[in-house]
Amino acid sequence: MTAPRTPEPGTKLPAVGTTIFTVMSALAAEHGAVNLGQGFPDFGCDPKLLEAVTAAMAAGHNQYPPMTGVPLLRERIAGKIEALYGRRYDAGSEITVTAGATQAIITAVLALVRPGDEVIVLEPCYDSYVPNIELAGGVVVRVPLVPGSFRPDFDRIAAALTPRTRAIIVNTPHNPSATVWTAEEMRRLDELLAPTDVFVISDEVYEHMVYDGALHQSVARFPGLAARSLIVSSFGKTYHVTGWKVGYVAAPAVLTAEFRKVHQFNVFTVNTPMQHALAHFMADAAPYLELPAFYQRKRDLFAEGLARTRLRLLPSEGSYFQCVDISAVSDLSESDFCQWLTREIGVAAIPLSAFYGDGFDQRVVRFCYAKKDETLRSALARLAKL
């Protein structure tokens, strides 16, 4: 009798293994370290938002919602974008609620990218972009941001554009570097792409975390970019509920129609009570309008403590990340330093080399300060040894 045999599946993603976030979180747990690696809060959301979920479930909102999202929530999203960025998206044909930003990004890629198409990614970049492009059969074209400053290098972006370029993925505020694109940089991107048919997938999940009086430069502010862009954002980041996995995409109707063709088959729709709760909660703009001040205070608290170490702070203009140069502290590689820091100092961080395809090491690591003040103070007390 032939023994049971599992066929060899092969792999569509040969370069993908265990993520650095999983590795560092496991190491942090093993050594009792303060985990400033993964980018999620360790504090709760507004109790009113939880009450709204309970009320939605009690009201019977527990079956499938429309594939495109609860109508009121889409109206609220359209209203917010218009109020903040001056562009009106039609809630019916241009706003789609998604199962988080990560699903939104892969759906956008699958909707636009055909086998052999080139897609430009600006490194360092969020770790889902490249696998998404590969799953679509696209060709990844890596263009580095300027080392150290992490600003876009438009000469290199221009050199990367070819007749085969289908899309570019941009991210501001930027994960992992915490830089924020300026209006001038957005205008330069607009001018560069104007004569092309290149689409933009604009990852704006940290849109409400921009500091020191600066404004988030959404592609929605720039008509030429908005006309070719799918904008991705995240309620999880904005309202401290990353585990809910609810986000949205705003795009011109012709792009939204293609996006929804894929969306209906890879997720179909998004959990109903959370959508109704978010729609109710969005009636008050204060929670997201007050977010910059909330996180800037945490940034400043953390930066003040880090300034007393030999770590050199890089600017944290947006997001909830703080990058530091480790050159004065250690000769170790970024990856080895993060493991040493977790084991010996008791604080977990993420090496920026993990966000580059070739593991480029510039002696910079990333902390997340979306944490309770006591968590940050505990981490700083340990980092004071450096």
- Tens of pLDDT, residue by residue over 81-95, are 999 999 999 999 999
End residue of a domain, out of 249, 284, 319: 284
Contact 186/138 with Cβ under 8 angstroms? Answer: no
Measured at the CA of 210, the angle between CA 103 and CA 277, to 5 degrees, comes to 50
Same domain assignment for residues 252 and 367: no
Q: Is the pLDDT of residue 1 over 80?
A: no
Same domain assignment for residues 161 and 224: yes
| CA nearest to 207, candidates 248, 182, 238 | 238
Same domain assignment for residues 250 and 327: no
**Residue bearing tokens 């747990």:** 29
Same domain assignment for residues 274 and 162: yes
Provide the 3-class DSSP secondary structure of residue 62: coil
Q: What percent of the chain has pLDDT over 70?
A: 100
End residue of a domain, out of 254, 284, 314: 284
Using pLDDT thresholds of 50, 70 and 90, give the confidence band for residue 15: confident
Task: Confirm whether 50 is domain-assigned.
Answer: no
Q: Is the pLDDT of residue 225 over 90?
A: yes
Sheet strands (E) in the chain: 34-35, 95-98, 118-123, 139-144, 165-171, 199-203, 229-234, 247-250, 312-313, 321-325, 347-348, 350-351, 364-368
CATH code for position 214: 3.40.640.10
Q: Is the pLDDT of residue 356 over 80?
A: yes
Same domain assignment for residues 249 and 182: yes
The chain-wide mean pLDDT, for the chain, equals 97
| pTM given for the model | 0.97
Task: Confirm whether 334 is domain-assigned.
Answer: yes
Same domain assignment for residues 84 and 29: no
* Tokens describing residue 39: 């980018």
Q: What percent of the chain has pLDDT over 90?
A: 96
What is the spatial distance between Cα 206 and Cα 291, in angstroms, rounded to a whole number? 10
What is the spatial distance between Cα 383 and Cα 386, in angstroms, rounded to a whole number? 6
Same domain assignment for residues 146 and 97: yes
- pLDDT tens digit string along 159-200? 999 999 999 999 999 999 999 999 999 999 999 999 999 999
- pLDDT tens digit string along 324-350? 999 999 999 999 999 999 999 999 999
Say what the pLDDT of residue 115 is: 98
Measured at the CA of 58, the angle between CA 52 and CA 59, to 5 degrees, comes to 85
Using pLDDT thresholds of 50, 70 and 90, give the confidence band for residue 276: very high
HSE (side-chain half, CA atoms, 13 Å) at 360: 14
Residue type at position 59: A
Interval 250-274 mean pLDDT? 97
What is the spatial distance between Cα 166 and Cα 119, in angstroms, rounded to a whole number? 6
Task: Confirm whether 5 is domain-assigned.
Answer: no
Say what the pLDDT of residue 38 is: 85
- pLDDT tens digit string along 100-143? 999 999 999 999 999 999 999 999 999 999 999 999 999 999 99
- H-only helix segments in 14-46: 20-31
Same domain assignment for residues 102 and 70: yes
**Residue bearing tokens 């600017």:** 315
End residue of a domain, out of 255, 284, 313: 284
Task: Confirm whether 296 is domain-assigned.
Answer: yes
Residues 6+ apart with CB under 8 A from 64: 268, 269, 272
What is the spatial distance between Cα 248 and Cα 71, in angstroms, rounded to a whole number? 13
Using pLDDT thresholds of 50, 70 and 90, give the confidence band for residue 293: very high
Same domain assignment for residues 141 and 116: yes
Say what the pLDDT of residue 17 is: 82
H/E segment holding residue 257: helix 253-266
CATH code for position 301: 3.90.1150.10
**Residue bearing tokens 């969005």:** 282
Q: Is the pLDDT of residue 321 over 90?
A: yes
Contact 139/160 with Cβ under 8 angstroms? Answer: no
What is the spatial distance between Cα 57 and Cα 277, in angstroms, rounded to a whole number? 9
Same domain assignment for residues 71 and 168: yes
What Rg value do the Cα atoms of the chain yield, rounded?
21
Using pLDDT thresholds of 50, 70 and 90, give the confidence band for residue 19: confident
Task: Confirm whether 339 is domain-assigned.
Answer: yes
Number of domains in the chain: 2
Task: Confirm whether 297 is domain-assigned.
Answer: yes
H/E segment holding residue 50: helix 47-58
Contact 192/161 with Cβ under 8 angstroms? Answer: yes
Same domain assignment for residues 217 and 328: no
Domain that holds residue 326: 20-38+290-383
Task: Confirm whether 185 is domain-assigned.
Answer: yes
**Residue bearing tokens 């990058």:** 323
| CA nearest to 155, candidates 124, 188, 180, 128 | 188
Same domain assignment for residues 63 and 212: yes
What is the spatial distance between Cα 140 and Cα 165, in angstroms, rounded to a whole number? 10
Task: Confirm whether 51 is domain-assigned.
Answer: no
What is the spatial distance between Cα 373 and Cα 354, in angstroms, rounded to a whole number? 27
Residues 6+ apart with CB under 8 A from 358: none
Interval 294-314 mean pLDDT? 97
Contact 128/135 with Cβ under 8 angstroms? Answer: no
